[in-house]
Amino acid sequence: MRWIWIDKFVEFHSGERAVAVKNVTLAEEHLHDHFPGFPVMPESLMIEAMAQTSGILVGEAKNFQEKVILAKVKKAVFYDYVKPGDTLKLDAQIESIAPEAASTSGKITLGEKLIAEIDLMFSHIDQNLGGKKFPKENFVFTETFELLMHDVLPGSSSSSAPKSEQD
Amino acid sequence: MAMSRDEIFGEVQEVLVDALGVDDDEVKAEATLMGDLGAESIDFLDIVFRLEKAFKMKIPREELFPAESLMNSPEFINNGKLTETGLAELKNKMPYIELGAFAKDPDINKLGDLFTVGTIVSYIGSKLSAA
Protein backbone atom coordinates (compact mmCIF):
# COMPACT_ATOMS: atom_id res chain seq x y z
CA MET A 1 0.00 0.00 0.00
CA ARG A 2 1.19 3.53 -0.82
CA TRP A 3 0.64 6.46 1.48
CA ILE A 4 -1.37 8.43 -1.01
CA TRP A 5 -4.98 9.18 -0.21
CA ILE A 6 -6.12 11.11 -3.26
CA ASP A 7 -6.26 9.76 -6.81
CA LYS A 8 -5.97 12.88 -8.94
CA PHE A 9 -6.59 16.58 -9.12
CA VAL A 10 -9.52 17.73 -11.23
CA GLU A 11 -9.16 21.48 -10.65
CA PHE A 12 -6.14 23.58 -9.75
CA HIS A 13 -6.10 27.34 -9.35
CA SER A 14 -2.59 28.26 -8.28
CA GLY A 15 -2.37 29.85 -4.84
CA GLU A 16 -6.13 29.77 -4.36
CA ARG A 17 -8.03 26.52 -4.65
CA ALA A 18 -7.67 22.88 -5.70
CA VAL A 19 -10.08 19.98 -6.05
CA ALA A 20 -9.01 16.34 -5.89
CA VAL A 21 -10.97 13.09 -6.06
CA LYS A 22 -10.54 9.92 -4.05
CA ASN A 23 -12.15 6.64 -5.04
CA VAL A 24 -12.69 4.38 -2.06
CA THR A 25 -12.32 0.66 -2.76
CA LEU A 26 -12.58 -2.62 -0.88
CA ALA A 27 -9.10 -3.43 -2.16
CA GLU A 28 -7.82 -1.15 0.61
CA GLU A 29 -6.76 -3.61 3.29
CA HIS A 30 -7.64 -1.55 6.32
CA LEU A 31 -11.33 -1.35 5.36
CA HIS A 32 -11.63 -5.04 6.26
CA ASP A 33 -10.58 -4.26 9.81
CA HIS A 34 -12.30 -0.89 10.05
CA PHE A 35 -14.70 -2.50 10.70
CA PRO A 36 -15.28 -6.22 10.05
CA GLY A 37 -18.64 -6.41 8.27
CA PHE A 38 -18.95 -2.61 8.25
CA PRO A 39 -16.24 -1.10 6.07
CA VAL A 40 -15.97 2.72 6.40
CA MET A 41 -13.08 5.03 5.56
CA PRO A 42 -11.26 6.06 8.77
CA GLU A 43 -11.75 9.75 9.54
CA SER A 44 -8.04 10.10 10.24
CA LEU A 45 -7.39 9.14 6.61
CA MET A 46 -9.87 11.75 5.44
CA ILE A 47 -7.75 14.30 7.31
CA GLU A 48 -4.65 12.89 5.60
CA ALA A 49 -6.36 13.07 2.18
CA MET A 50 -7.27 16.70 2.82
CA ALA A 51 -3.74 17.37 4.08
CA GLN A 52 -2.36 16.01 0.79
CA THR A 53 -4.82 18.08 -1.29
CA SER A 54 -4.22 21.28 0.69
CA GLY A 55 -0.51 20.62 1.15
CA ILE A 56 0.11 20.30 -2.59
CA LEU A 57 -1.92 23.47 -3.16
CA VAL A 58 0.26 25.29 -0.61
CA GLY A 59 3.47 23.78 -2.03
CA GLU A 60 2.63 24.74 -5.60
CA ALA A 61 1.97 28.32 -4.50
CA LYS A 62 5.72 28.60 -3.79
CA ASN A 63 6.78 26.47 -6.77
CA PHE A 64 7.50 23.48 -4.49
CA GLN A 65 10.53 25.30 -3.07
CA GLU A 66 9.31 25.04 0.52
CA LYS A 67 9.06 21.92 2.64
CA VAL A 68 5.41 21.99 3.60
CA ILE A 69 4.53 20.09 6.75
CA LEU A 70 1.13 19.68 8.38
CA ALA A 71 1.39 21.62 11.62
CA LYS A 72 -2.11 21.88 13.02
CA VAL A 73 -5.58 20.48 12.48
CA LYS A 74 -7.66 23.56 13.19
CA LYS A 75 -11.00 21.91 12.60
CA ALA A 76 -12.19 18.45 11.62
CA VAL A 77 -15.92 17.76 11.67
CA PHE A 78 -17.46 14.66 10.08
CA TYR A 79 -21.08 14.38 9.03
CA ASP A 80 -21.43 10.96 7.45
CA TYR A 81 -19.77 7.60 6.73
CA VAL A 82 -17.73 6.97 3.60
CA LYS A 83 -18.07 3.47 2.12
CA PRO A 84 -16.34 1.39 -0.56
CA GLY A 85 -17.48 2.52 -4.01
CA ASP A 86 -17.83 6.15 -2.96
CA THR A 87 -16.07 8.87 -4.95
CA LEU A 88 -15.08 11.72 -2.69
CA LYS A 89 -14.41 15.26 -3.82
CA LEU A 90 -11.85 17.16 -1.73
CA ASP A 91 -12.11 20.91 -2.16
CA ALA A 92 -9.28 22.92 -0.57
CA GLN A 93 -8.74 26.68 -0.36
CA ILE A 94 -5.86 28.77 0.86
CA GLU A 95 -7.10 31.19 3.52
CA SER A 96 -3.77 32.85 4.33
CA ILE A 97 -0.21 32.32 3.20
CA ALA A 98 2.95 33.91 4.63
CA PRO A 99 6.68 33.19 4.26
CA GLU A 100 6.57 30.84 7.28
CA ALA A 101 3.20 29.14 7.02
CA ALA A 102 -0.20 28.81 5.41
CA SER A 103 -3.72 28.13 6.59
CA THR A 104 -6.32 26.31 4.51
CA SER A 105 -9.98 25.40 4.67
CA GLY A 106 -11.48 22.32 3.07
CA LYS A 107 -14.69 20.46 2.42
CA ILE A 108 -15.15 16.79 1.50
CA THR A 109 -18.32 16.01 -0.41
CA LEU A 110 -19.98 12.89 -1.82
CA GLY A 111 -22.23 14.07 -4.64
CA GLU A 112 -24.27 16.86 -3.07
CA LYS A 113 -23.74 15.60 0.45
CA LEU A 114 -21.27 17.25 2.83
CA ILE A 115 -19.06 14.59 4.44
CA ALA A 116 -16.48 16.63 6.32
CA GLU A 117 -15.05 20.09 6.98
CA ILE A 118 -11.29 20.09 7.58
CA ASP A 119 -9.26 23.26 8.20
CA LEU A 120 -5.49 22.92 8.47
CA MET A 121 -2.24 24.81 9.02
CA PHE A 122 1.03 24.07 7.30
CA SER A 123 4.53 25.14 8.28
CA HIS A 124 7.27 25.98 5.78
CA ILE A 125 9.79 24.25 8.00
CA ASP A 126 12.95 25.86 6.62
CA GLN A 127 11.53 29.23 7.74
CA ASN A 128 10.69 28.06 11.24
CA LEU A 129 11.98 26.16 14.24
CA GLY A 130 14.70 28.64 15.10
CA GLY A 131 16.93 28.04 12.10
CA LYS A 132 17.15 24.26 12.57
CA LYS A 133 18.66 22.67 9.45
CA PHE A 134 16.84 20.13 7.30
CA PRO A 135 18.07 18.06 4.35
CA LYS A 136 18.56 20.18 1.26
CA GLU A 137 16.43 18.12 -1.08
CA ASN A 138 12.70 18.52 -0.85
CA PHE A 139 11.62 15.24 0.73
CA VAL A 140 8.00 16.37 0.90
CA PHE A 141 7.18 16.71 -2.77
CA THR A 142 8.19 13.56 -4.58
CA GLU A 143 7.37 12.10 -8.00
CA THR A 144 4.25 10.39 -6.69
CA PHE A 145 2.66 13.76 -6.16
CA GLU A 146 3.53 14.92 -9.67
CA LEU A 147 1.44 12.06 -11.09
CA LEU A 148 -1.63 13.46 -9.37
CA MET A 149 -1.35 16.71 -11.25
CA HIS A 150 -1.20 15.35 -14.82
CA ASP A 151 -4.78 16.35 -15.62
CA VAL A 152 -4.43 19.87 -14.36
CA LEU A 153 -0.99 20.83 -15.63
CA PRO A 154 -0.94 23.80 -18.03
CA GLY A 155 -1.93 22.69 -21.55
CA SER A 156 -4.45 20.05 -20.58
CA SER A 157 -8.11 20.77 -21.28
CA SER A 158 -9.28 20.65 -17.68
CA SER A 159 -6.73 23.08 -16.30
CA SER A 160 -7.71 26.59 -15.29
CA ALA A 161 -7.76 29.16 -18.07
CA PRO A 162 -4.27 30.41 -18.92
CA LYS A 163 -3.52 33.94 -17.88
CA SER A 164 -3.80 36.43 -20.72
CA GLU A 165 -0.53 37.83 -21.95
CA GLN A 166 -1.44 41.36 -22.80
CA ASP A 167 1.11 44.12 -22.48
CA MET B 1 -12.22 52.15 12.06
CA ALA B 2 -12.98 53.39 15.55
CA MET B 3 -13.24 50.56 18.05
CA SER B 4 -13.31 50.72 21.82
CA ARG B 5 -10.94 48.56 23.84
CA ASP B 6 -13.90 46.40 24.85
CA GLU B 7 -14.87 45.82 21.24
CA ILE B 8 -11.30 44.89 20.34
CA PHE B 9 -11.15 42.58 23.34
CA GLY B 10 -14.35 40.86 22.19
CA GLU B 11 -12.90 40.14 18.76
CA VAL B 12 -9.56 39.01 20.17
CA GLN B 13 -11.38 36.74 22.60
CA GLU B 14 -13.27 35.08 19.74
CA VAL B 15 -10.03 34.59 17.78
CA LEU B 16 -8.31 32.94 20.76
CA VAL B 17 -11.28 30.70 21.56
CA ASP B 18 -11.22 29.41 17.98
CA ALA B 19 -7.44 29.18 17.62
CA LEU B 20 -6.65 27.56 20.97
CA GLY B 21 -9.83 25.65 21.73
CA VAL B 22 -10.27 27.39 25.09
CA ASP B 23 -13.43 28.69 26.77
CA ASP B 24 -14.57 32.33 26.69
CA ASP B 25 -14.06 32.78 30.40
CA GLU B 26 -10.44 31.56 30.25
CA VAL B 27 -9.55 34.39 27.88
CA LYS B 28 -9.00 37.15 30.42
CA ALA B 29 -6.87 40.22 29.73
CA GLU B 30 -4.13 39.03 32.10
CA ALA B 31 -4.05 35.42 30.84
CA THR B 32 -0.70 34.48 29.29
CA LEU B 33 -0.88 32.87 25.88
CA MET B 34 1.60 30.09 26.55
CA GLY B 35 1.24 29.49 30.28
CA ASP B 36 -2.48 29.96 30.80
CA LEU B 37 -3.92 29.26 27.36
CA GLY B 38 -1.49 26.57 26.21
CA ALA B 39 -0.39 28.20 22.93
CA GLU B 40 2.47 26.58 20.98
CA SER B 41 4.61 28.14 18.29
CA ILE B 42 2.35 27.22 15.36
CA ASP B 43 -0.60 28.68 17.28
CA PHE B 44 1.05 32.11 17.16
CA LEU B 45 0.94 32.00 13.37
CA ASP B 46 -2.65 30.77 13.47
CA ILE B 47 -3.51 33.68 15.77
CA VAL B 48 -1.78 36.16 13.46
CA PHE B 49 -3.71 34.85 10.43
CA ARG B 50 -7.02 34.99 12.29
CA LEU B 51 -6.35 38.52 13.62
CA GLU B 52 -5.52 39.69 10.11
CA LYS B 53 -8.92 38.44 8.93
CA ALA B 54 -10.87 39.71 11.93
CA PHE B 55 -9.39 43.21 11.82
CA LYS B 56 -8.69 43.37 8.08
CA MET B 57 -5.05 44.38 8.52
CA LYS B 58 -1.58 43.04 7.74
CA ILE B 59 0.31 41.87 10.80
CA PRO B 60 4.02 41.05 10.41
CA ARG B 61 4.62 38.14 12.78
CA GLU B 62 7.79 39.60 14.28
CA GLU B 63 5.94 42.80 15.05
CA LEU B 64 3.32 41.16 17.29
CA PHE B 65 5.54 38.34 18.59
CA PRO B 66 9.14 39.54 18.33
CA ALA B 67 10.53 36.99 20.79
CA GLU B 68 12.03 34.66 18.18
CA SER B 69 14.23 37.26 16.55
CA LEU B 70 15.48 38.28 19.98
CA MET B 71 16.18 34.70 21.02
CA ASN B 72 18.43 34.02 18.07
CA SER B 73 20.87 36.85 18.63
CA PRO B 74 23.78 36.71 21.10
CA GLU B 75 23.71 40.49 21.15
CA PHE B 76 20.34 40.39 22.86
CA ILE B 77 20.70 37.26 24.98
CA ASN B 78 23.43 36.45 27.44
CA ASN B 79 23.43 33.63 29.96
CA GLY B 80 19.72 33.02 29.64
CA LYS B 81 18.82 36.64 30.21
CA LEU B 82 18.11 39.58 27.96
CA THR B 83 20.98 42.03 27.82
CA GLU B 84 20.52 45.78 28.20
CA THR B 85 20.50 46.00 24.41
CA GLY B 86 18.00 43.15 24.23
CA LEU B 87 15.71 44.83 26.71
CA ALA B 88 15.93 48.10 24.80
CA GLU B 89 15.16 46.23 21.57
CA LEU B 90 12.13 44.58 23.18
CA LYS B 91 10.83 47.96 24.39
CA ASN B 92 11.44 49.40 20.95
CA LYS B 93 9.58 46.59 19.21
CA MET B 94 6.73 46.36 21.69
CA PRO B 95 6.12 49.88 23.01
CA TYR B 96 2.60 48.84 24.05
CA ILE B 97 3.85 46.21 26.48
CA GLU B 98 4.13 46.58 30.25
CA LEU B 99 7.57 45.21 31.21
CA GLY B 100 7.15 45.66 34.94
CA ALA B 101 9.06 43.09 36.98
CA PHE B 102 10.53 41.50 33.88
CA ALA B 103 12.86 44.50 33.40
CA LYS B 104 14.53 43.68 36.75
CA ASP B 105 14.92 39.97 36.02
CA PRO B 106 14.79 39.51 32.24
CA ASP B 107 15.01 35.71 32.30
CA ILE B 108 14.12 34.44 28.81
CA ASN B 109 12.04 31.65 30.31
CA LYS B 110 9.71 34.35 31.55
CA LEU B 111 9.53 36.04 28.17
CA GLY B 112 6.43 33.99 27.39
CA ASP B 113 4.63 35.54 30.37
CA LEU B 114 4.81 38.94 28.69
CA PHE B 115 2.48 37.81 25.94
CA THR B 116 -0.95 38.12 27.42
CA VAL B 117 -4.39 38.57 25.91
CA GLY B 118 -4.08 42.22 26.93
CA THR B 119 -0.86 42.52 24.88
CA ILE B 120 -2.71 41.56 21.73
CA VAL B 121 -5.56 43.97 22.50
CA SER B 122 -3.04 46.79 23.04
CA TYR B 123 -1.18 45.92 19.86
CA ILE B 124 -4.36 45.90 17.77
CA GLY B 125 -5.41 49.18 19.41
CA SER B 126 -2.11 50.82 18.49
CA LYS B 127 -2.36 49.52 14.91
CA LEU B 128 -5.92 50.77 14.52
CA SER B 129 -5.18 54.23 15.85
CA ALA B 130 -2.10 54.47 13.61
CA ALA B 131 -4.15 53.57 10.54
Tens digit of pLDDT for each residue in A32-60? 999 999 999 999 999 999 999 999 999 99
3-state SS track over A43-107: HHHHHHHHHHHHHHHHHHHCCCCCCEEEEEEEEEEECCCCCCCCEEEEEEEEEEECCCEEEEEEE
The residue ranking higher by pLDDT, A28 or B101, is A28
Between these two residues, B62 and A55, which has the higher pLDDT value? A55
Indicate whether A131 pLDDT > 70. no
Q: What is the pLDDT of residue B28?
A: 96
Neighbour tally for B45: CB within 10 Å: 24
B48 to A24, A102, B15: CA distances (angstroms):
37, 11, 9
8 Å CB contact between B64 and B81: no
- Cβ pair A17, A11 in contact under 8 A: yes
Over residues A8-24, the mean pLDDT reads 97
Phi, psi of B40 (to 5 degrees): -110, 175
Q: What is the pLDDT of residue A161?
A: 47
pLDDT band for A163, please (50, 70, 90 cuts). very low
Q: What is the mean pLDDT of residues B92-107?
A: 83
Neighbours of B16 (CB within 10 A): 24
How many Å lie between the alpha carbon of B91 and the closest alpha carbon of chain A? Answer: 22
Nearest of A97, A85, A8, A24 to residue A59 by alpha carbon: A97
Looking at every residue in chain A, the average pLDDT score rounds to: 89
The answer to whether A34 is a known catalytic residue is yes
More confident residue, B1 or A81: A81
Is pLDDT of A164 > 50? no
More confident residue, A1 or A24: A24
Tell me if A153 sits within 8 A of A162, measured CB to CB.
no
Q: CA of A6, closest CA in chain B: separation in Å? A: 26
- Higher pLDDT residue, A145 or B20? B20
Of B18, B49, B72, the CB nearest to A131: B72
At A129 the pLDDT is: 56
The pLDDT of A52-74, averaged and rounded, is 95
Q: What is the mean pLDDT of residues B84-100?
A: 84
Q: From the candidates A13, A30, A32, A34, which is the catalytic residue?
A: A34
Entry pTM: 0.84
A131 close to B73: Cβ distance less than 8 angstroms: no
Q: What is the pLDDT of residue A155?
A: 56
For chain B, list residues whose CB is within 8 angstroms of any CB belonging to chain A.
18-19, 41-43, 45-46, 48-49, 52-53, 61, 68, 71-72
Q: Please check the confidence at residue A159 and state whether its pLDDT lies above 50.
A: no
* Contact residues for A16 (Cβ-Cβ < 8 A; gap 6+): A93, A94
